[in-house]
């Protein structure tokens, strides 16, 4: 039971870090490229990758 809870907690944190990184990266990319859609998506992808790696 506790192992399952620990696994769920780890997955939850990793997913949260990925989503949080993507959100932050999207905002930064949007602002840095003068509200360009490509900059927003690029920033979100980069931020999601960084957040995922930090959440491991």
The structural domains of the chain, with segments of one domain joined by +, span 12-54
What whole-number percentage of the chain has pLDDT above 70? 71
Q: How far is CA 14 from CA 35, 48, 56, in A?
A: 28, 10, 6
Predicted confidence (pLDDT) at residue 51 exceeds the cutoff of 90: no
Q: pLDDT at position 48, please?
A: 84
pLDDT 10s digits, 12-34: 555 677 777 788 888 888 889 99
Residue of 44, 38, 42 whose CA lies nearest to 19:
44
Q: pLDDT at position 12, please?
A: 52
Average pLDDT over residues 27-42: 90
Who wins on pLDDT, 36 or 17? 36
52: left (phi over 0), alpha (psi -120 to 50) or beta: alpha
């Amino acid at each position: 039971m506790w192992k399952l809870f620990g696994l769920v907690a780890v997955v939850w944190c990793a997913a949260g870090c990925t989503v949080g990184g993507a959100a932050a990266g999207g905002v930064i990319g949007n602002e840095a490229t003068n509200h360009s859609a490509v900059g927003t998506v690029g920033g979100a992808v980069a931020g999601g990758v960084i957040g995922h790696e930090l959440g491991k």
